[in-house]
Amino acid sequence: MTALGAALYHDCSLAEDTRPIEALWDALLADEASLQQFCVPVAPRKEAPSTFRREQLLQRVKRDELASFLVGTPATIGDADAVTVGVVLQPSTAAAQEGRAGYRYRLDVALGAAAVNRRGAASIVDALVACANAVKPRAGVVFPADTASFAHALATGTRGGLTEEQDRRVKDVFYAVYELGDKIRGPEWGTFLGPHHVAKLGGLDRIEKESGCAVVRRLAHGGAYLQITGTHDDPGVDAGRTALAMFLSPVM
Amino acid sequence: MTRTVLCRQRRDGGVMVHLHLLSKLKSAVVVVVVVGCVLVFGKLAGADARSDLESLKRDFERLKSEYDSRKNEVGKYVENSRSLRAFDKDEMEKLIKAMCGQDVERDDDESDRVNKDLRERAVDTVRRKWDDITREWDGVEDRTERLQNDLKSLRDKVKYIPEEDAVKSDRASLLDQIVRTIDETDRLYAKLQDDFRALSNVKEGVMYGANNPKIRAAMEYGKRKHVEMQSSCHEKETVLSSGRPDCIYFLKDDCKVVEFKPSTVGESAARSQAERYLGDVQRYFKEDKRAVENCRKDSSGLPIFLAEGKTYYACTP
């Protein structure tokens, strides 16, 4: 039983086209009986979490009222059943705001172990790949984690409520993606490549033949999704990551 | 009463006639006639008392049936009032939970406004239910009091019936039943009064919620937690265009912006809120000596801050 996290770094304005968010909600949250939304408004005020109201939230996104938001299970639910889909609509760091980060926005997902089991990791990956086809990510990762909370922290590079070891890893991730530039994030169990990465690695055919990944999927914008093993809890993930890191070294 | 008087007149007249005629007759005949007359009179008098008693018995049956109705009515009322008490308690818990679940700034007028609004809404809901139940109480109390009076009046009427042999036992039995019913009605009435007192006390808890220590504690809890958690911060409540981050630390290679939230809001939300301030904090403190000396720098030389969400246990109702 392992939790799963994912992050996509992209430049696609979701305020202009909310369909990728909606598709992700439909794929990952449709079965949840109770959902909450937590909005971080552009205006300098704080909001309390409230019941998820899809249309109302989408309208606020379209009106550019929000800097970011989270939709997911309430905080009171156990970690294993937790699911969150987070969307950053306005760049948060100075580097992202000034165009030095290599991306402007982030989309993140975290699911607890039981939530992953119920949906199946493959269907979660399908949803993420479909989303990637829509938002054309410059980079991204899908990774197993001990808990949903840790998965969320790793996906967002934000901290709190973690062990020292987990906290160190999250700090490393944050510094690594702060100015990602043309580099990839990862590699992880699942790694998204932008078109420039694919080109730099010699094209998709070469990636398919030489990356050693169990899954290689072509993305609509010319990027690719690589997955080390068929399942995220395969014991071969760590060894596969080392081998993939060597293959991807030109873009790391 | 009227029948008893007539009987007495008839008896007196009869005795006078017999005394006149019997002056010459033998004492045996006199005795026979007198005894006969007494027997006739006794029979007539007993019949009238019985008739009165029967009438009062019917009155009692009616009041007894009314008592049963009142008993049911009081039962239903108490059931309703219990639901209000539970509802009232639920409202109170909901109110405190909502207050506890709030993210409260230490000097936040907004949270005070939200708390006030929450309390007023709870008070309004309870007041409406309270008005309905007190209207019901007024009706039930009136009818029960009237029954008490009717039963007491009936008891007095039965007491007025002479304790003659013919009705003695029935009279005593009816009296006993009436007295028992009066006692039961008194208990019913007392139950109503007690319930009303208890209900009023519970209602006061929400209606005058600001003075309720539980509500007051909930209103202050979030503020107190923020103040406690901010005690070690290097900066707190810095005013930025993106808002006021709860806390900023300038630790060696670990500069961070921290947001505090109750556990009911959760770490993910706290982290997201903290992330919102990053760009502004980087620029605001770019020349601050603490940031210059301790924070890692980005490619533009700006200090890098990480976002951290910290939760505290939300107060509970």
B172 with B242, same domain?
no
Assess if residue B276 is contained within a domain.
Answer: yes
pLDDT at residue B19, as a whole number: 44
- Nearest beta carbon to residue B271 from set A46, A94, A160: A160
Assess if residue B75 is contained within a domain.
Answer: yes
Q: Is the pLDDT of residue A229 over 90?
A: yes
Chain A residues in contact with B282 (beta carbon < 8 A) = 93-94
pLDDT at residue A44, as a whole number: 87
User: Which of A154-168, A234-248, B48-62, B78-92 has the lowest average pLDDT?
Assistant: B78-92
Query: Domain tally for chain B?
Result: 3
B38 with B176, same domain?
no
Structure token pair of residue B151:
């039963």
Cis ω before A235 (30° cut-off from 0): no
B56 with B197, same domain?
yes
Assess if residue B308 is contained within a domain.
Answer: yes
Phi-psi region of B308 (alpha: psi -120 to 50; beta: other; left: phi over 0): beta
B243 touches chain A (CB under 8 A): yes
A94 touches chain B (CB under 8 A): yes
pLDDT in tens, B244-261: 999 999 999 999 999 998
Share of chain A above pLDDT 90, in %: 93
Chain B residues in contact with A171 (beta carbon < 8 A) = 254, 306
H helix runs in A63-203, sequence order: 94-97, 113-119, 121-135, 148-156, 164-178, 195-200
If we measure between CA atoms, which residue out of A13, A23, A151 comes closest to residue A88?
Answer: A13
Interface of A with B in 39-68 (CB under 8 A): 40, 44-46, 48-49, 67-68
B242 with B285, same domain?
yes
Share of chain B above pLDDT 70, in %: 67
B25 with B130, same domain?
no
State the complex-level ipTM: 0.95
- Average pLDDT on B25-51 reads 59
Q: What share of chain B is helix, strand, coil (3-state, %, to 5)?
A: 75, 10, 15
**Domain range spanning residue B194?**
49-85+124-206
Q: Is the pLDDT of residue B114 over 70?
A: no
B198 with B282, same domain?
no
